[in-house]
Amino acid sequence: MKKLFVAVLALGFMVGCSEEPKQSATTQKTESKSQPALTGRGGLQKCYIAARGWAPDAKPFRLESQISAQWKGQNGKAAAWRASFASVTLTGTRTFMWSGEEVTPGVQDAYSPSNTSTQVFDIGFLKIDSDQALEVAQKHGGDKILEQEKDTPVYYILDWDRAHNLLLWHVIYGPDPDDAKLRIAVNATSGDFLKVEK
């Protein structure tokens, strides 16, 4: 009986010592406020892993940044990225959203390879990340917009330009991608400035 009591006591001591110290309420609040953010390539990679679980032949056709209160895109990063993929074998498209270290799949939709708005691309063409595309856009008018209003959100959209047969970053300054103050197109493979879209 004495041996059993000593064994239980030792086990309780080991379990008690192995527990991590509890965080204070202040530390927990600070950590919950700090939202992780990634560049476009990082967001696409997270979604790509999930998309390949859905369909082994899944290929991306669009990547879009999402603005949050903490991350407004001025450094080339976003707290959420939405990536759209297509699968020839499943004849379907599906969107995956990375946010806060989690990837959430959307519903599957129909896919037609002849549809120009769902032109898939090979990830190997993505040599220039969103932060590098921002540097290019800053040199072509973006810097003036952020100087005038430093809180202006900056959105990033990555897709295949079928007319020029290349992968494009669209760096978009403004409150909404559809209501932009400035749109800059950057070659996502070479990093070359292509044009001011608006």
Residue, of 11 and 33, whose pLDDT is higher:
33
Single pTM value for the model:
0.82
DSSP annotation string for 55-83: -TT-EEEEEEEE--SS--STTSEESEEEE
Tokens, residue 16:
């008690």
What is the model's pLDDT at position 34?
72
State both tokens at 176.
């909404």
The per-residue pLDDT for 35 is 78
Tokens representing residue 129 in the block: 């990340």
Name the residue ranges covered by the structural domains of the chain: 2-33, 38-196
Going by pLDDT thresholds of 50, 70 and 90, the confidence category of residue 131 is very high
At 28 the pLDDT is 38
Which CA distances in Å does 163 have to 17, 40, 166, 185, 186? 64, 23, 8, 14, 15
The pLDDT confidence band at residue 171, using thresholds 50, 70 and 90, is very high
Give the pLDDT band of residue 8 (cuts 50, 70, 90).
very low
Checking if the pLDDT of 118 tops 80, the result is yes
Give the pairing type, strands 102-110 and 92-99. Answer: antiparallel
CB distance 107 to 85 below 8 Å: no
CB atoms within 10 A of CB 141: 14
Give residue 38's pLDDT: 96
Query: Who's near 160: CB < 8 A, 6+ residues apart?
Result: 61, 119, 120, 121, 166, 167, 168
Mean pLDDT calculated for residue range 98-110: 94
Nearest to 59, CA basis, from 74, 47, 75: 47
